[in-house]
Amino acid sequence: MAPVPYVVPLVDSTAVFKPEIFKGKVLFCTGGGSGICRGMTEAVMRHGADAVIIGRKLDRLTQAAKELSDTTGRTCIPAQGDVRDPKTLRDAVTKTIEKFGRIDFVICGAAGNFLAPIAGLSENAFRTVLEIDTIGTYNTIKATIAHVRASKGSYIHVSATLHYNGTPFQAHVSAAKAGVDALSAVLAVEEGPHGVRSNVIAPGPIDGTEGMERLSVKGVADKQFAYPSGRAGHVKDIANATIFLFSDAASYITGQVLPVDGGSEHMRGTMVPYPQSVLDPASVAHMIKPRL
Ligand SMILES: NC(=O)c1ccc[n+]([C@@H]2O[C@H](COP(=O)([O-])OP(=O)(O)OC[C@H]3O[C@@H](n4cnc5c(N)ncnc54)[C@H](OP(=O)(O)O)[C@@H]3O)[C@@H](O)[C@H]2O)c1
């Protein structure tokens, strides 16, 4: 019988961290109305925080805020805004302070993506992705920093791993996310002495998300990448990393990029079949003999 790879289990953060560690805290999350950032918001709320979620589509945002409040027992409110427009972010911050009086955690997660080759990508499309991901992250930092300083709080920026290599058809997002990583490092250095931390979570491909739907080739999504952890990522995997990075257990961690991808960033361009080659090296002996 062929050896079977180990598949890491999905764990709920409340099984590891105390449920009340974020009691009295307030989260400000761009992109929190859907997908990964909604899952991050839910997890932070499950540990006691209230939240404000920001996005352009008010209907979806309002529905998400209601569901998040209902499932966690905390309060989530929607704030319509476009991260490209600093005024709408300032308004969302005002709404947050009027409702909750503080901001402890910020997730910069709003982003856009699609597949397009450099030669086919319009200048406008390239610029738009940088405006949402990179300038939107800057605008969010600018709008929130005074309050995060006051609470000695913490930022998490949602980036990606695709810019660690030259990923085809992702020039726009690669450039944008590299900028996000750089902004986070500078934020950590400049604001560390004021008591603020800043880190990046870099998700690998996350099953069931809009982003993955848009980027994956139908029918082969689960075969496109190799995962040392045995499976594609789940929103909960990103949520769990979020709880850790916002918690006091991570108080000495700032300016870092944490890929949460089951190890897949190390698996780009494998020359041998995976995972058969690591489960049974003899099966590929004819290919890598001198190294066995
Ligand atoms: N899915 C993956 O496998 C994957 C992998 C690596 C990294 N990521 C990153 O994870 C994050 C979430 O991705 P996702 O797949 O969960 O996608 P998603 O559900 O499409 O989330 C994107 C969110 O950003 C909001 N948004 C987009 N443009 C905005 C703007 N101009 N102003 C305000 N909000 C805006 C959207 O809401 P509105 O449309 O209502 O504005 C939406 O809620 C992104 O940063 C993405 O780059 C995802």
What pLDDT shows up at residue 287? 62
Strand stretches in the chain, DSSP E: 26-30, 50-55, 76-80, 105-108, 154-158, 197-203, 257-260
For residue 113, what are its two tokens? 């993506």
Active site residues: 159, 177
Residue-wise pLDDT tens digits, 182-219: 999 999 999 999 999 999 999 999 998 887 776 665 54
Average pLDDT over residues 234-243: 98
HEC profile for 253-268?
CCCCEEEECCCHHHHC
What pLDDT shows up at residue 79? 98
Ligand 1 probe mutation, 106, 159, 173, 209, most atoms within 8 A of CB: 209
pTM: 0.94
Q: Which residue has a Cα nearest atom 16 of ligand 1?
A: 35
Percent of all residues in the chain with a pLDDT value above 90, rounded to a whole number: 76
Strand stretches in 120-256, DSSP E: 154-158, 197-203
Residues 6+ apart with CB under 8 A from 96: 26, 28, 52, 79, 103, 147
Instruction: Say how many CA atoms lie within 13 Å of 121 toward its Cβ.
Output: 19
Distance of CA 35 to the CA centre of its chain: 10
Q: Which residue has a Cα nearest atom 47 of ligand 1?
A: 111
Domains of the chain: 14-291 (3.40.50.720)
Q: Which residue has a Cα nearest atom 17 of ligand 1?
A: 211
**Which stretch of 77-86, 148-157, 234-243, 278-287 has the lowest confidence by average pLDDT?**
278-287
What pLDDT shows up at residue 171? 92
What's the pLDDT band for 181 if we cut at 50, 70, 90? very high
**Residue 39, ligand 1, Cβ within 6 A:** no
Residue-wise pLDDT tens digits, 132-167: 999 999 999 999 999 999 999 999 999 999 999 888
**Residue 179, ligand 1, Cβ within 6 A:** no
- Burial classification of residue 199, based on how many CB atoms lie within 10 Å of its CB (0-12 exposed, 13-18 middle, 19 or more buried): buried
